[in-house]
Structures are given as structure tokens and as C-alpha cells.
């Protein structure tokens, strides 16, 4: 609705490459990208630091200033204190927000909570809450 650019970053373990699919705000034919997004799958593994560093690199681009990061995860990963401090600094500098969605049944996750502005679970999502997340409220 806001005709904003967005990117989808698929992540896995520290050894898996990040798969990044960018959609620019004036891009017309995005069907091929939507299909790639829907079909992409990694076998598992989780490295929050690698993924969120990739998100910060994308935000560094002018087009992604004041970006919203929608972070979908099972929550099973740790981060170092040093990394967390640097990430929070970059996030504040770029006025970015992190909306995390936990796919497990847990209501809270200390690690995810530490870098997120908002945390929901898949079970909590309704049409209204999904609209709120994706509109950057």
C-alpha cells in the first residue's frame, strides 16, 4: 500500500549463504520474485548474527532508510553481547525497527526480545496484527 521497497533474506546456519531477494518500490513485474520467495527452502540451522548483519547492510542503502525488519524464527539461536551492542547501535542510527514472529508456541524468547521492538507468535497473528506489522506501526 505504501509502495515501499522490501527485501526477503533467507537464512540458515553460519555456513549457508544468505539468499536475498530485493523488490524495488517502482518495480512492476515481481511475479518471478514472489514465486522464488514462496519456493525457497533451506534445510535448517540458524545464525541470527549473520542474518541481521545482512539486514543492516541492506538498510545501509538509501532506499531502506527507516526500514522495518520482519524477523520470522523459531528462536533457537544465541548472540554475543558484543554483537548485540553493535546491532542495537546500527539499528538506532538507521531508525530501523525489528518485528519478530516466533513460529514456536513460546510466548517469549530472551534473545529475540533483546533486539526486537515487537514480538508476536504465529498463533497470535490475526489479520489486524499482520497488517500492523507490515505497515510499520
Q: Do the domain assignments include residue 1? A: no
**CATH code for the domain in which residue 76 is found:** 3.40.50.410
Cβ–Cβ under 8 Å, residues 133 and 99: yes
pTM: 0.77
- What pLDDT, in 10s, does the model give residues 63-72? 667 888 888 8
- What pLDDT, in 10s, does the model give residues 13-48? 888 888 888 888 888 878 888 888 888 877 777 899
- What pLDDT, in 10s, does the model give residues 77-115? 899 999 999 999 999 998 999 988 888 766 668 999 999
Q: Do the domain assignments include residue 90? A: yes
Q: Do the domain assignments include residue 19? A: yes
Domain range for 19 is: 6-134
Q: Do the domain assignments include residue 99? A: yes
Q: Do the domain assignments include residue 58? A: yes
Number of structural domains the chain divides into: 1
Give residue 73's pLDDT: 87
Q: Do the domain assignments include residue 15? A: yes
pLDDT at 137 over 50: no
Q: Do the domain assignments include residue 128? A: yes
134 vs 21: which has the higher pLDDT: 21
Q: Do the domain assignments include residue 78? A: yes
CB under 8 Å to 18, separation ≥6 — which residues?
Answer: 9, 10, 11, 50, 51, 54
Give residue 122's pLDDT: 81
Give residue 85's pLDDT: 97
Amino acid at each position: 500500500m505504501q509502495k515501499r521497497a522490501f527485501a526477503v533474506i533467507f537464512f540458515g546456519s553460519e555456513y549457508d549463504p544468505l539468499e536475498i531477494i530485493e523488490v524495488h518500490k517502482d518495480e512492476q513485474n515481481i511475479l518471478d520474485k514472489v514465486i522464488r520467495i514462496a519456493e525457497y527452502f533451506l534445510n535448517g540451522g540458524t545464525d541470527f548474527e549473520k542474518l541481521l548483519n545482512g539486514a543492516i547492510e541492506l538498510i545501509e542503502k538509501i532506499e531502506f532508510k527507516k526500514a522495518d525488519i520482519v524477523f520470522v524464527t523459531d528462536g533457537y539461536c544465541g548472540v554475543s553481547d558484543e554483537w548485540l551492542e553493535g546491532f542495537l547501535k546500527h539499528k538506532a542510527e538507521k531508525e530501523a525497527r525489528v518485528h519478530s514472529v516466533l513460529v514456536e508456541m513460546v510466548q517469549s524468547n530472551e534473545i529475540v526480545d533483546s533486539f526486537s521492538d515487537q514480538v508476536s507468535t504465529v498463533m497470535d497473528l490475526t489479520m489486524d496484527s499482520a497488517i500492523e506489522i507490515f505497515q510499520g506501526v
